[in-house]
Amino acid sequence: MPEKEQALASLEILIETCKAARVSLNSLSQSTSDTESASVDVLRKDTLSIHRLIHTSSTRLSVALGKQPPSYPIALVPLKDLTSQVGQLTSCTTVFPPGLLRKEAVWAAETTIQALEALAQHFATICRQNKADDQEYLIKTGAVHDAVMKAAELSESEIDAAVKRWKVNAESLEDSLGEVKEMMEEKREADSEDATDDGWDELGEGFSDTLSVEEMDRVKKVFPLLRFTTMLHGKLLSHHILKPPRGTTTTIPHLDVLVAFSNSLVVASDDLASSLYAPQNLETIQESAEHVFQVITDLDSELGITKVDQEDLAEQLQRLQLGNGSECLTWFRRCFSQINAVYTNLHIM
């Protein structure tokens, strides 16, 4: 078989291998089944090692096929290596135990393999059409390298993975809280001649960022709900994740569940903040607030924290110190209680 046809056949094998790998990884991300495997530390090192090999092999492939004229014989070796490495990466990722670290490893593998598949598709197209490369291969090779660099940030443990996701979510919650706080601080005159045209009217949306007195009152009632839930989210990071309760091993049974609640709270809080922009829809606001409260209620049930009498504890919540004893438990009980009180107050909007 001529060298060019050999290279094209190898490219197609690599492409099909990448497609099969992504299907396998996608099904793995939905699975909770456990398999016997090496330690997480060993799996992590092996996974990162394979990612680095893909980085090297993809570079060699690009050097061989990117130059003019392409060097098809030289490309055969990295193509064979890459096909093998994709299989190895998939197999290694498959044996990670269920949890947050597996999800990270799956995401990293999928990202790298998808970028590699795009690079192989590009070279296959160039090869079939018998045309000179337009340098796009440099961008696609860079995408593979970027994916490998991202994979190098793979967490070292379940707790590290949880903290990483929790901090990202915390920023999102602060953004939502900041949006609502900004609404309260802004003082705009609805009929001001200097009002800035935001361009929404041109799109036929009829959007206005000026809140009526009634709408501003709703914002002020909703703000405490977002404030207390954001505070609760922050304290859970320091109490349950960074500093697990005494007697708890490094593998916290409900850690992945807590992160799932965190993810849900981000979505619910963002929806609630967005619902407060003018013109408001009361039903949408109430539904969004209910979603936030339901997430918190489910979280309360998961943690098994009993609520105490409802009272205004805003200042006390800020003063209470963290710890792994009764004082911290009291903080959580009061925070859940305050959230319940704030949500109850929203029914009179």
Model pLDDT for residues 237-283, shown as the tens digit of each residue: 887 777 655 544 444 557 888 899 999 999 999 999 999 998 999 99
Number of alpha carbons in the 13 Å side-chain half-sphere of residue 310: 10
pLDDT of 321 > 80? The answer is no
pLDDT of 208 > 60? The answer is no
pLDDT of 307 > 50? The answer is no
pLDDT of 131 > 80? The answer is no
- Spatial contact of 144 and 173, defined as CB atoms under 8 Å apart: no
Helices within the chain (DSSP H only)? 3-29, 40-66, 72-94, 100-129, 136-151, 158-185, 213-236, 255-275, 282-303, 314-319, 326-346
Residues in the chain: 349
Q: What is d(CA 239, CA 235) in angstroms, rounded to the nearest whole number? A: 6
CA 185 to chain centre: 30
Q: What is the pLDDT of residue 200?
A: 47
Q: What is the mean pLDDT of residues 338-343?
A: 93
Q: What is d(CA 103, CA 226) in angstroms, rounded to the nearest whole number? A: 28
Q: What is d(CA 313, CA 5) in angstroms, rounded to the nearest whole number? A: 74
Coil/strand/helix, residue 306: coil
Q: What is d(CA 208, CA 216) in angstroms, rounded to the nearest whole number? A: 14
Q: What is the pLDDT of residue 184?
A: 87
- Percent of the chain having pLDDT more than 70? 79
Q: What is d(CA 112, CA 109) in angstroms, rounded to the nearest whole number? A: 5
Q: What is the pLDDT of residue 191?
A: 43
CA distances 208 to 198, 201, 214, 280, Å, are 8, 8, 15, 10
Mean of pLDDT over the chain = 84
10-14, 117-121, 314-318: the lowest-pLDDT one? 314-318
- Spatial contact of 138 and 62, defined as CB atoms under 8 Å apart: yes
* Neighbour-count burial for 285-318, b at 16+ CB within 10 Å, e otherwise: bbebbbbbbebbeebbeebebebeeeeebeeebe
62-116: pLDDT as tens digits: 999 998 889 999 999 999 999 999 999 999 999 998 889 999 999 999 999 999 9
pTM listed for this prediction: 0.75
Using 50, 70 and 90 to split pLDDT, how confident is the model at 349? low
Q: What's the first-to-final CA gap in the chain, in angstroms? A: 77
Q: What is the mean pLDDT of residues 314-319?
A: 43
